[in-house]
Amino acid sequence: MPIISAPEEYNEDRLYVDLRESFGIPLYLKCEGFNFSGSIKQKAAREMIEMAERSGLLGPDSVLVESSSGNLGVALSVIAASRGYRFVCVTDARCNPTTLRLMEALGTEVHIIDEPDPVGGLLGARLAHVEALVRADERYIWLNQYLNANNWGAHHRMTAPHIAEQFPGLDALFIGAGTTGTLMGCARWFKEHQPGVRIVAVDSVGSVIFGGPASTRVIPGLGSGVRPPLLDESLVDEVVMVPEAETVGVCHRLVGQGFLFGGSTGTVVAGARRWFADHGVDDKFTAVAIAPDLGERYLDTLYRPEWVGLHFGEEAHRSEAALSA
């Protein structure tokens, strides 16, 4: 039985959901939301903070500051509360209301950006705000998940080898793209140790990560309005782009079977379904998709009919009907 003294010490890393019955594809969903932060971001948050502590960057008077669409902000809030740091999270208007309240309950000061940068969108505006805070006060320490090698290092050290241990005959791994920390950490490990595993990145339509045109996105988590500096496309075998209406449809299909997952998870599963539809594989094919989060924080958005109708209208209904066919 696990006994812990700090919330970041616990993470369930061995739980998978077999999606063959739900979607008719040989896909195992690695559930990363069973920790006190509620998402896979706890791994990167802990790694970045601990390395900053070891290097002497963080001191008793330090104030952590980070840009986040939600999950990393919660993870840093949990660890900051546990270790006695002040934390300022810079997010934007797309952040789920529940996520905002959760960070504030943990003692985090939340800055919400609602005016996008003309070039970099809301993310570009968030980054500019963080840079201004750091310039104005030397106590502010920016971990910078967008450049920090410990972001991908956490998944190179933990996530990828754990998957390989559970699935020694793995054929394909589906990973969502945001900062690309999870993607790059896992891709590097498999290219080094099991290069035959296909690395499939999943992104949202409207994101510019892989060179597509920018457009409005309303579900936080995956995707970006700025190309991530951590990204090395040579480590990625294929990219699948998913419309957000399809993300909603997949999440609703899963919750109809009792699995309440978050928007990032819905996007990754939708991307895997698209990939399987385009590739002929047999039942011996083994694939894993990483589910970054659970769905409680999305109850006011993608699980609320009024919100779905406002943003997607009939498109969401068509997507759900197609999944049910």
CA 312 – CA 319 distance, rounded (Å): 10
**Degrees to nearest 5, angle at CA 153 with 261 and 202:** 40
The phi, psi pair for 291, rounded to 5°, reads -95, 105
| Distance in angstroms (rounded) separating the CA atoms of residues 182 and 230 | 10
pLDDT of residue 283: 81
The listed CATH number (3.40.366.10, 3.40.50.1100, 3.40.190.80, 3.40.50.360) that belongs to domain 7-34+158-324:
3.40.50.1100
How high is the pLDDT of residue 281? Answer: 86
Q: Is residue 122 within 8 Å of 92, Cβ to Cβ?
A: yes
Q: Tens of pLDDT along 23-79? A: 999 999 999 999 999 999 999 999 999 999 999 999 889 999 999 989 999 999 999
pLDDT less than 70: residues of the chain: 316-325
Instruction: Kindly list the domain boundaries of the chain, sorted by start residue.
Output: 7-34+158-324, 41-142
- Tokens, residue 208: 């510019």
Q: Give the separation between CA 160 and CA 166, rounded to whole angstroms.
A: 10
Position 280 scores a pLDDT of 83
- 18 burial (CB, 10 Å; 0-12 / 13-18 / 19+) is exposed
- The span from the CA of 110 to the CA of 126, in Å, is 12
Place of tokens 């009907």: 321
CATH code of the domain occupying 41-142: 3.40.50.1100
Ramachandran bin of 47, using left for φ above 0, alpha for ψ from -120 to 50, beta for the remaining angles: alpha
Cα separation of 74 and 158, whole Å?
A: 20
Domains 7-34+158-324 and 41-142 in one fold: yes
What local confidence, expressed as pLDDT, does residue 317 receive? Answer: 59
| HEC profile of the chain | CCCCCCHHHCECCCCEEECHHHHCCCEEEEECCCECCCECHHHHHHHHHHHHHHCCCCCCCCEEEEECCCHHHHHHHHHHHHHCCEEEEEEECCCCHHHHHHHHHCCCEEEEECCCECCCHHHHHHHHHHHHHHHHCCCEEECCCCCCHHHHHHHHHHHHHHHHHHCCCCCEEEEECCCCHHHHHHHHHHHHHCCCCEEEEEEECCCCCCCCCCCCCCCCCCCCCCCCCCCCHHHCCEEEEECHHHHHHHHHHHHCCCCCECHHHHHHHHHHHHHHHHCCCCCCCCEEEEECEECHHHCCCCCCHHHHHHHHCHHHHHHHHHHHC
Question: How much is the pLDDT for 259?
Answer: 97
**Taking the CA atoms of the chain, what radius of gyration do you get in angstroms?**
19
Closest to 2 in 3D by CA, of 275, 12, 85: 12
Compute the mean pLDDT over every residue in the chain, rounded to the nearest whole number.
93
